[in-house]
Amino acid sequence: MGITLKGETIRRTLADANQRARSRGDELVGDPSLADWVTAVRVLRDESVPKTYTAVLAILLTARAMHDADTLSVRDIKASTSDKGYSASSIGSAIASFAKEQRIDLRAKSSQPMNNQPFTFEERINEKMGARDAVAWGIFDVIVDRVEALKPSDAAAVLALLFHMSRKVDAPTIHVTVKGGKQALDKVAAAVAGFVNSNSDNGKVGQSFVAALFDTIYTPDAVVLGDTQDPDVTVPGDVQVTDEHEVWLWSEAKQKVIMTGDITGFLQAVHAVGGERAAYFALANSGYSGNIQPDTVKKTADRLGMDVRLVESPAAAMDWLLPLAVGSYGTVAENLIERMHARMSESGCAKTVLDAFTAVAGGIAEVKEAPKADGTTPALLDELDRMRSYDGYGYCRGCGGKELWEVLEQMDGFCTSQCKDENGDYYHTKTGLPHPKESR
């Protein structure tokens, strides 16, 4: 019963959409035939909408891109649900790791989006699932209908659009000006090392530090900072460096005392996924001689056919990597501070930690807050919070407008004042997304 999805087909579908997003992203956004979907993506990416919805939309689009509606129903998210059912979780696990590698922000941080509410344990996506947030769910439910009606080729285009609009943009979170040459860089490096030695925030500071160092050598697009708080992460290492096709360097960054077995275990994990090059940043080990046996680490690496670089302090990390950074000494110093702050923001460091770093940076450089990027996720609805506060009312499955339950029941869940045009078609007036009543 149901459709069997092959892992190779899933990966090819994701890769094709990603290549299309990279080469034709702006063209997709400007395509009039995709205008409704541009709005839909912006709505689902609004911070007031549950984060899981964006990731699940990607899963549904991937499923539809592989099979048409005669073969697969995107609502039947388990293969056992019906003859048109499929394993949405199989796509979910693939897309979570793929998005991380390709720096696509699908909002949900879990390595399995289908394990998040309200989809957990469900066999089918239905209109009653998201009752705790009727407005956002009503809109998402309508979007699911639209995915259901897509042809595979159109779903592939929308998936590429979603990837393009969700790509992480590495805009600086602060702007830094450093005056001077190598002496200024040395001063910055010493200050950053001192900050990393004194601040951890559950390891996020150290991991952000390593990612920032790699950013100064490679482009931020090539450096992947993992989610340190996700216990289900399967990609080895806290920070990876990629080329156009795959990860080529795996690195671990720890702000706790590390033993030899921690490093050899990491090497084995990298080897298991086909990795050959690794770096281990044991950032708190400089004061603990003898905890790591370099000969044992080297023998393990040689046996596995791998190369490994071992670093035991923030200062040693910068001694290794900063000479490889691109630009003048002043530019490297500026980039290091800016990328450190940006990576700490990305990893979710506490505001107190970010403020402390800004204060340290301000003591050695001129620091200004970067202007916020133009919003790509407009407010879901002007009166979203007010609408959610009402009892005794329902919300239109189309525009989310508040109406008496009796009105909605009479109109099969749609309000007459906001969702019916002169031709009798039903649509979102606030999002522009059509939802023909007869298709429901």
Domain range annotation of the chain: 7-166, 174-369, 384-439
Q: Give dist(CA 327, CA 268) in Å, integer.
A: 36
- The region that residue 274 occupies, defined by phi over 0 for left and psi between -120 and 50 for alpha, beta otherwise, is left
pLDDT score for 43: 83
- 147-154: list long-range contacts, CB under 8 Å, 24+ apart: 147/57, 147/60, 147/61, 147/64, 147/74, 148/64, 148/69, 148/73, 148/74, 148/75, 149/69, 149/439, 150/61, 150/64, 151/68, 152/64, 152/65, 152/66, 152/67, 152/68, 153/65
Task: Tell me the angle at which helices 260-272 and 294-304 cross, rounded to the nearest 10 degrees.
Answer: 10
Q: In what order do the strands lie in the sheet with 247-254?
A: 223-225, 239-242, 247-254, 277-282, 307-311
Q: Render 20-55 in DSSP notation, one character per residue.
A: HHHHHHHHHHH-GGGHHHHHHHHHHTSTTS-THHHH
pLDDT score for 325: 94
pLDDT score for 404: 52
- The region that residue 402 occupies, defined by phi over 0 for left and psi between -120 and 50 for alpha, beta otherwise, is beta
Task: Tell me the angle at which helices 152-166 and 7-30 cross, rounded to the nearest 10 degrees.
Answer: 70
pLDDT score for 233: 58
Q: What is the mean pLDDT of each run of 10 residues along the chain (440 residues)?
A: 88 93 90 88 83 92 95 93 92 87 80 83 80 73 89 96 83 84 95 96 95 93 72 75 86 94 96 95 82 93 96 96 94 94 89 94 88 42 41 53 53 55 47 38
150 Cβ partners below 8 Å, 6+ apart?
A: 61, 64, 158
Q: Is the dihedral of CA 332, 341, 44, 115 positive or negative?
A: positive
DSSP tag of 420: B
- Which candidate, 337, 336, 340, 341, places its Cα nearest to that of 326? 336
Q: Is 187 helix (H, G, I), strand (E, B) or coil?
A: helix
- Which candidate, 150, 251, 205, places its Cα nearest to that of 349? 205
**HEC profile for 342-368?**
HHHHHHCCCHHHHHHHHHHHHCCCEEE
Contact indicator for 10, 91 with CB cutoff of 8 Å: yes
- Which candidate, 412, 440, 414, places its Cα nearest to that of 427? 414
Q: Give dist(CA 279, CA 213) in Å, integer.
A: 13
Q: Compute the residue count for the chain.
A: 440
pLDDT score for 98: 86
Q: Give dist(CA 16, CA 28) in Å, integer.
A: 14
pLDDT score for 169: 64
pLDDT score for 121: 83
Contact indicator for 326, 216 with CB cutoff of 8 Å: yes
Evaluate the omega torsion of the peptide bond into residue 118 and state whether it is cis, within 30 degrees of 0. yes
pLDDT score for 85: 93
Q: Give dist(CA 147, CA 163) in Å, integer.
A: 16
Contact indicator for 271, 300 with CB cutoff of 8 Å: no
pLDDT score for 331: 94
Q: Give dist(CA 304, CA 394) in Å, integer.
A: 61
- 375-379: list long-range contacts, CB under 8 Å, 24+ apart: 376/42, 376/45, 376/165, 377/42, 377/43, 377/45, 377/46, 377/47, 378/42, 378/43, 378/46, 379/46, 379/48
Contact indicator for 99, 110 with CB cutoff of 8 Å: no
Question: H-helix or E-strand containing 279?
Answer: strand 277-282
Q: Give dist(CA 424, CA 405) in Å, integer.
A: 21
